[in-house]
Structure 1
Amino acid sequence: MEPEEVKSAVEALLFATDVPLNLDRLESLVGNGRPAPIREVIEHLNQEYWEQRRAFFIAEVGGGFQMATRSQYGPWVKKLFLGRTETRLSPAALEALAIIAFKQPVIRADIQAIRGVDCGGVLGTLLDRGLIRITGRSEALGRPLLYGTTKKFLRYFGLNSLSDLPKPKEIEELLQQQREGEQRVENQTKQVAGSGGDRGSEEVRSSD
């Protein structure tokens, strides 16, 4: 195939798919058994999209590639789905999912020990949503099931691999920054309230 044909074929495949396609899959579909510089083709396409100020690009996510809209067009895309039922993960589910993501493979007892509450229902929800899977059995007493995340988990959070997860230290730094920001806002609020009270007292004294 000519380079332009390869580029058009890759673009067509990525428009048509509803799941990420990895390089091996794309090469097998486009190259007719011969290796094709698919990553280079994708880089060229993304460069064209950027120069033409297109609303979409090819994202590397979930171990593969998929078309995605740019974040600044999110408000318009959301309007398209208004009225459709969207089931979001509960805080409890997100908490359990975070534990599994960072501790995997992990057994239910360890998840419950960290959360402090039973997580049977939450695990069932995450399994039904395809965000976690059973990876095997532990060697511990009773050989309990081990849980880990799936490729759908990566796509759900826009990650290419588990190595893209923030490190615990980074999370703690972000939380610390958030706490400091909240403290600054609280202090500023107190200062404004205090200065307002002082002005009120001055007005009362001046009226006397």
Structure 2
Amino acid sequence: MNKSSELEALLFVVGDEGIGLEELSYLLNLPTEAVYQLIQELQGRYQVSEQTALNILEVGNHFVLTTKREFAPLLKKYAQSPLANRLSQAALETLAIIAYKQPITRMEVDEIRGVQSSGSVQKLAARQLIEEKGRVEGPGRAILYGTTSYFMDYFGLKDLAELPDIQSMESELEEELPLDLFFDCYQEEISETVEATEIDLSSQERNEEQ
């Protein structure tokens, strides 16, 4: 397996959090100069190829795998499509964890779920259910996520205090019981989300225009 493919795999897995040069150097067992050269070569191939929609951004001291700018209209259309508005069980679990533990980083969500959550986080952000609430102080400055006003409206909440008390569930959280409690607390709304889940972005946009 060549190092360029390994680099691409790592960039894909870390998602929107990105990954630093030193960590890539450690994981790929290469000097930082060699890793940076690999990144430049991979980015060069992305830029000249019409067979890929990928791009690499350098954000601070981190590298993030993204899509090319010209695909933005297509991706926006997808996000607003009724076919894309059904949330998966993974996305619902991710949303519940963020609602309880916010502000929280994607890596912390991953630790709680035990699986990678980058795709779910991106989908929830595209549907305006979660948003960036700041950055962690220190190396990497990971994004902190929290729920949005749209989330509050969608679940009929006046404030987050209406969620079940997370302190009383802290030990159960490791066993993922709060996810069930979250769903039970808003059974009617969650049932619609699980069985017919359609977050109507077009309706939201009409309301905003009014």
Report the TM-score range of the alignment, normalised by the length of the smaller protein.
0.3 to 0.5
TM-score between the two structures when normalised by the length of structure 2: 0.40
Bigger RCO of structures 1 and 2 (CA < 8 A, at least 6 apart): 2
Higher CA-based Rg: 1
